[in-house]
Structure 1
């Protein structure tokens, strides 16, 4: 894949390095040439100095052959303009924009441009750690039918398997965090103290799933 990234701040440079390490070709656009220092000497991709919604700049970055485009500069307006150009003018199939204003993010999602509302995401993560009994989504699919939420577990579940937990709550475990590292659990995985469990739910099932998980082991589970 060829990926064009507009913005070479901490997010853009980290994204560029991650994509390149996976074998993808990467082009990075930024108005400030000094920003490219964040990429490191080992970066082998293209760097283009200029405004991310300038057509000549975009073409120099290879937007016409791009498989994906990420707009991650510090400006909402710049991000959304460049994202729309990439999708609507150059037909880039995968486009995503970072948006700080959560209300704007919802508008652009309706236009068909996936967005990452940075402040909202960070706030939700903070709430999850400050108020663990709250229900905070970490993911919701574009159709708004399925979400992933953390399910705080009763201590009784320690020593039991993921399979028995899934049977009890009637939902599938998406992943778990153990010692700060995410993993895809299998039914035989034994739950340990401190595990954070994230569950696939719908709006109709989330209440019962969280209630059962918090209530502890019942019967033969």
Structure 2
């Protein structure tokens, strides 16, 4: 089985998806179109028909929180994992296995019950309630670089983007992150709620960071925040 490792020189990453329903299949095809490596897991082999005959990713039949099934999907060299099956319990179990057993920090789970989302985000697992689910949202969470902006001004010169931050930034202040990356962080999402940080706010595990940047600095900012912080 030929499964890509971590991001290469062209920015391609390997993503593992659990659940080949409408959302999972759409996400898998979108990632492949963008040039990324994808493995998708489902207990029902017939579900893979949603991918079409031209799907170039890998399909794996099995339970998405089974460790051997995850290994068959290339989780040990994955850059991100999305649990998008039709069951909240399965999604959160799989997400926790991937984070805690395989040490993959870039994980997101689809949640049908919004009331559970805050509980799961306290465990450091970003969630998206199904009523707000779009492929763009999951792509912004999974892809460390080149993700779609949340907002851009009409001229296209300024963007508001969610960026992937290396876990080693945990405990550093937002002011330190702004200074290192040369950008502004207008708001942070934490445990399902958004707030405007002040200079003393510290980055916590599971936080989603949004930055306002000029379009020509996207790669630079993502590179700085996606790597380890400078020595304190």
Matched with 1:74 is: 86
For residues 162-204 of structure 1, give each alpha carbon's deviation from its aligned partner in whole angstroms, at most 9, with x where no partner exists. Answer: xxxxxxxxxxxx63xxxxxxx642399xxxxxxxxxxx77868
Matched with 1:55 is: 67
Residue 114 (1) aligns with residue 126 (2): yes
Gaps of 5+ in 1: 123-137, 139-173, 176-182, 189-199, 205-221
For residues 56-96 of structure 1, give each alpha carbon's deviation from its aligned partner in whole angstroms, at most 9, with x where no partner exists. Answer: 11110001111000000000000000001111110113100
SS at match of 2:20: coil
Residue 92 (1) aligns with residue 98 (2): no
Matched with 2:155 is: 186
Cα distance in structure 2, aligned partners of 1:72 and 1:187: 32
Matched with 1:38 is: 50
Residue 15 (1) aligns with residue 27 (2): yes
Larger Rg: 1
SS at match of 2:55: coil
Cα distance in structure 1, aligned partners of 2:112 and 2:93: 14
Gaps of 5+ in 2: 1-12, 138-149, 158-185, 188-193, 197-232
Runs of 4+ in 1 over 3 A off after TM superposition: 200-204
Cα distance in structure 2, aligned partners of 1:203 and 1:109: 15
For normalisation by structure 1, the TM-score amounts to: 0.57
Pairwise CA RMSD of aligned residues? 2.7
Cα distance in structure 2, aligned partners of 1:96 and 1:12: 12
> Which residues of 2 match residues 71-220 of structure 1 at below 5 A?
71-119=83-131, 121=132, 175=151, 184-186=153-155
Cα distance in structure 1, aligned partners of 2:26 and 2:92: 20
For normalisation by structure 2, the TM-score amounts to: 0.54
Cα distance in structure 1, aligned partners of 2:62 and 2:35: 25
Q: Which has the higher contact order (CA 8 A, sep 6+)?
A: 2
Aligned residues: 138
